[in-house]
Amino acid sequence: MSALPRAAELGLIGCHVCGLTCRTVPGDDRLDGGGHGEEMACPRCGSVLHRRKPNSYARTWALLIAGFLLYIPANVLPIMRTASLNDIDDNTIISGVVELWVKGSPDLAVIVFTASIVVPMLKFLSMGLLLLSSQRGSGWARPQRAKLYRLVEFIGYWSMLDVFVVALLTALVRFSLLSRVEPLPGVIFFGLTVVLTMLASMSFDPRLIWDGRDTDD
Protein backbone atom coordinates (compact mmCIF):
# COMPACT_ATOMS: atom_id res chain seq x y z
CA MET A 1 0.00 0.00 0.00
CA SER A 2 1.39 3.38 -0.94
CA ALA A 3 2.18 5.91 1.75
CA LEU A 4 -0.48 8.34 2.82
CA PRO A 5 0.14 11.98 1.83
CA ARG A 6 2.15 14.09 4.23
CA ALA A 7 0.82 17.29 5.77
CA ALA A 8 3.40 19.34 3.85
CA GLU A 9 2.13 17.89 0.58
CA LEU A 10 -1.42 18.93 1.49
CA GLY A 11 -0.37 22.44 2.46
CA LEU A 12 -1.01 21.89 6.18
CA ILE A 13 1.14 22.63 9.19
CA GLY A 14 0.51 22.30 12.93
CA CYS A 15 1.36 25.07 15.37
CA HIS A 16 3.69 23.63 18.01
CA VAL A 17 2.38 26.12 20.61
CA CYS A 18 -1.41 25.88 20.45
CA GLY A 19 -1.80 22.85 18.15
CA LEU A 20 -3.89 24.62 15.50
CA THR A 21 -3.74 23.07 12.03
CA CYS A 22 -2.96 25.90 9.61
CA ARG A 23 -3.22 26.15 5.84
CA THR A 24 0.03 26.93 4.02
CA VAL A 25 1.29 27.09 0.47
CA PRO A 26 2.87 23.74 -0.48
CA GLY A 27 6.62 24.08 -0.95
CA ASP A 28 6.84 27.41 0.92
CA ASP A 29 10.48 27.44 2.06
CA ARG A 30 9.84 30.14 4.67
CA LEU A 31 8.59 27.35 6.95
CA ASP A 32 11.96 25.62 6.67
CA GLY A 33 13.98 28.76 7.34
CA GLY A 34 15.01 29.22 3.74
CA GLY A 35 12.76 32.07 2.64
CA HIS A 36 13.56 35.75 2.61
CA GLY A 37 10.06 37.07 3.19
CA GLU A 38 8.11 37.59 6.37
CA GLU A 39 7.74 34.43 8.47
CA MET A 40 4.31 32.84 8.60
CA ALA A 41 2.52 33.07 11.93
CA CYS A 42 -0.25 31.06 13.55
CA PRO A 43 -3.57 32.94 13.16
CA ARG A 44 -4.67 31.90 16.65
CA CYS A 45 -1.67 32.45 18.93
CA GLY A 46 0.68 34.42 16.67
CA SER A 47 3.62 31.99 17.04
CA VAL A 48 5.98 31.55 14.10
CA LEU A 49 5.14 28.41 12.12
CA HIS A 50 7.84 25.84 11.40
CA ARG A 51 7.57 22.42 9.81
CA ARG A 52 10.11 21.33 12.41
CA LYS A 53 11.45 23.12 15.48
CA PRO A 54 14.58 25.03 14.38
CA ASN A 55 17.85 23.46 15.57
CA SER A 56 15.94 20.84 17.53
CA TYR A 57 18.78 18.30 17.50
CA ALA A 58 21.47 20.77 18.58
CA ARG A 59 19.43 22.25 21.43
CA THR A 60 18.23 18.87 22.68
CA TRP A 61 21.72 17.35 22.66
CA ALA A 62 23.15 20.41 24.45
CA LEU A 63 20.49 20.34 27.19
CA LEU A 64 20.70 16.57 27.60
CA ILE A 65 24.50 16.54 27.93
CA ALA A 66 24.41 19.48 30.36
CA GLY A 67 21.78 17.68 32.45
CA PHE A 68 23.89 14.51 32.52
CA LEU A 69 27.00 16.42 33.62
CA LEU A 70 25.06 18.04 36.47
CA TYR A 71 23.60 14.66 37.45
CA ILE A 72 27.06 13.48 38.54
CA PRO A 73 27.54 16.03 41.37
CA ALA A 74 23.83 15.64 42.20
CA ASN A 75 24.58 12.05 43.22
CA VAL A 76 28.05 12.60 44.68
CA LEU A 77 27.34 15.68 46.80
CA PRO A 78 25.05 15.48 49.88
CA ILE A 79 21.56 16.82 49.34
CA MET A 80 20.42 17.12 52.97
CA ARG A 81 21.90 17.57 56.45
CA THR A 82 20.04 16.30 59.50
CA ALA A 83 21.27 17.75 62.79
CA SER A 84 20.10 16.76 66.27
CA LEU A 85 21.46 17.23 69.80
CA ASN A 86 24.20 14.61 69.47
CA ASP A 87 24.44 13.85 65.75
CA ILE A 88 24.99 15.56 62.41
CA ASP A 89 24.35 13.46 59.31
CA ASP A 90 24.83 14.45 55.66
CA ASN A 91 22.96 12.32 53.13
CA THR A 92 23.41 11.86 49.41
CA ILE A 93 20.54 10.46 47.35
CA ILE A 94 21.82 6.88 47.67
CA SER A 95 22.64 7.11 51.38
CA GLY A 96 19.21 8.63 52.00
CA VAL A 97 17.54 5.70 50.22
CA VAL A 98 19.61 3.23 52.28
CA GLU A 99 18.75 5.03 55.50
CA LEU A 100 15.04 4.99 54.72
CA TRP A 101 15.24 1.26 54.01
CA VAL A 102 17.21 0.48 57.20
CA LYS A 103 14.94 2.57 59.42
CA GLY A 104 11.82 0.68 58.34
CA SER A 105 10.44 2.71 55.43
CA PRO A 106 11.06 0.43 52.43
CA ASP A 107 8.06 1.79 50.51
CA LEU A 108 9.33 5.37 50.73
CA ALA A 109 12.87 4.19 49.91
CA VAL A 110 11.63 2.50 46.72
CA ILE A 111 9.67 5.63 45.71
CA VAL A 112 12.66 7.94 46.25
CA PHE A 113 15.03 5.53 44.47
CA THR A 114 12.68 5.25 41.50
CA ALA A 115 12.08 9.00 41.20
CA SER A 116 15.68 10.07 41.83
CA ILE A 117 17.77 7.33 40.20
CA VAL A 118 15.70 5.15 37.87
CA VAL A 119 13.59 7.88 36.22
CA PRO A 120 16.49 10.28 35.40
CA MET A 121 18.62 7.45 33.98
CA LEU A 122 15.72 6.19 31.86
CA LYS A 123 15.15 9.74 30.59
CA PHE A 124 18.81 10.06 29.55
CA LEU A 125 18.73 6.70 27.79
CA SER A 126 15.33 7.30 26.15
CA MET A 127 16.17 10.78 24.87
CA GLY A 128 19.54 9.54 23.60
CA LEU A 129 17.79 6.72 21.76
CA LEU A 130 15.24 9.08 20.23
CA LEU A 131 17.93 11.53 19.12
CA LEU A 132 20.25 8.93 17.58
CA SER A 133 17.51 7.00 15.80
CA SER A 134 15.87 10.16 14.44
CA GLN A 135 19.14 11.67 13.23
CA ARG A 136 19.93 8.45 11.37
CA GLY A 137 16.46 8.46 9.79
CA SER A 138 15.78 5.00 11.21
CA GLY A 139 12.43 3.43 10.38
CA TRP A 140 12.66 1.10 13.39
CA ALA A 141 9.58 1.08 15.66
CA ARG A 142 8.38 4.59 14.85
CA PRO A 143 4.99 4.27 16.64
CA GLN A 144 6.73 2.83 19.72
CA ARG A 145 9.30 5.64 19.73
CA ALA A 146 6.52 8.22 19.51
CA LYS A 147 4.87 6.60 22.56
CA LEU A 148 8.22 6.56 24.35
CA TYR A 149 8.56 10.31 23.82
CA ARG A 150 5.10 10.93 25.29
CA LEU A 151 6.01 8.74 28.27
CA VAL A 152 9.23 10.70 28.85
CA GLU A 153 7.27 13.95 28.87
CA PHE A 154 4.66 12.50 31.25
CA ILE A 155 7.04 11.15 33.89
CA GLY A 156 9.49 14.05 33.73
CA TYR A 157 7.73 16.11 36.37
CA TRP A 158 7.90 13.29 38.96
CA SER A 159 11.70 13.56 39.01
CA MET A 160 11.35 16.56 41.32
CA LEU A 161 10.22 14.30 44.18
CA ASP A 162 13.60 14.44 45.93
CA VAL A 163 13.56 18.24 45.90
CA PHE A 164 10.02 18.26 47.28
CA VAL A 165 11.00 15.83 50.08
CA VAL A 166 13.96 18.00 51.15
CA ALA A 167 11.84 21.17 51.05
CA LEU A 168 9.04 19.51 53.05
CA LEU A 169 11.39 18.12 55.70
CA THR A 170 13.18 21.46 56.00
CA ALA A 171 9.88 23.25 56.58
CA LEU A 172 8.48 20.69 59.03
CA VAL A 173 11.59 20.21 61.18
CA ARG A 174 12.00 23.95 61.66
CA PHE A 175 9.17 23.68 64.18
CA SER A 176 11.31 21.36 66.32
CA LEU A 177 13.75 22.75 68.89
CA LEU A 178 15.83 19.55 69.09
CA SER A 179 16.61 18.88 65.44
CA ARG A 180 17.21 20.68 62.17
CA VAL A 181 17.21 19.79 58.47
CA GLU A 182 19.17 21.85 55.95
CA PRO A 183 19.35 21.50 52.15
CA LEU A 184 22.88 21.07 50.78
CA PRO A 185 24.40 21.79 47.33
CA GLY A 186 23.49 18.37 45.94
CA VAL A 187 19.81 19.26 45.83
CA ILE A 188 20.57 22.31 43.66
CA PHE A 189 22.42 20.18 41.10
CA PHE A 190 19.62 17.64 41.14
CA GLY A 191 16.99 20.32 40.58
CA LEU A 192 19.00 21.75 37.67
CA THR A 193 19.31 18.25 36.20
CA VAL A 194 15.55 17.78 36.29
CA VAL A 195 14.91 21.18 34.72
CA LEU A 196 17.45 20.61 31.92
CA THR A 197 16.08 17.17 31.06
CA MET A 198 12.56 18.60 30.95
CA LEU A 199 13.76 21.37 28.63
CA ALA A 200 15.53 18.75 26.49
CA SER A 201 12.32 16.78 26.01
CA MET A 202 10.48 20.01 25.19
CA SER A 203 13.15 21.00 22.64
CA PHE A 204 12.94 17.69 20.81
CA ASP A 205 10.48 17.74 17.93
CA PRO A 206 8.70 14.33 17.87
CA ARG A 207 7.78 14.91 14.23
CA LEU A 208 11.44 14.19 13.44
CA ILE A 209 10.74 10.55 14.29
CA TRP A 210 8.59 10.28 11.16
CA ASP A 211 10.93 12.05 8.75
CA GLY A 212 12.15 9.84 5.93
CA ARG A 213 9.07 7.58 6.05
CA ASP A 214 8.48 6.14 2.59
CA THR A 215 5.69 3.74 3.44
CA ASP A 216 2.76 3.89 5.81
CA ASP A 217 3.46 1.40 8.58
Tell me: do 122 and 173 sit in the same domain.
Answer: yes
Q: Is residue 217 part of a domain?
A: no
Tell me: do 23 and 76 sit in the same domain.
Answer: no
Which helix (H) or strand (E) covers residue 67, if one does?
helix 56-76
Give the start-end residues of each E strand in the chain.
12-14, 21-23, 80-83, 88-91, 180-183
Tell me: do 119 and 60 sit in the same domain.
Answer: yes
Q: What are phi and psi of 43, to 5 degrees?
A: -70, -15
Residue among 57, 80, 176, 50 at smallest CA distance from 128: 57
Structural domain boundaries enclosing 171: 56-210
- Residue pLDDT tens, the chain, 217 long: 456 777 777 778 888 788 788 887 555 555 555 444 457 788 888 888 877 888 889 999 999 999 999 999 988 998 877 776 677 777 788 887 887 788 777 887 887 788 888 888 989 999 999 999 998 888 888 889 999 999 888 887 666 666 666 666 555 555 555 566 677 888 889 889 988 998 998 899 888 888 765 544 4
Tell me: do 69 and 45 sit in the same domain.
Answer: no
Helices and strands of the chain, counted as H and E runs:
7, 5
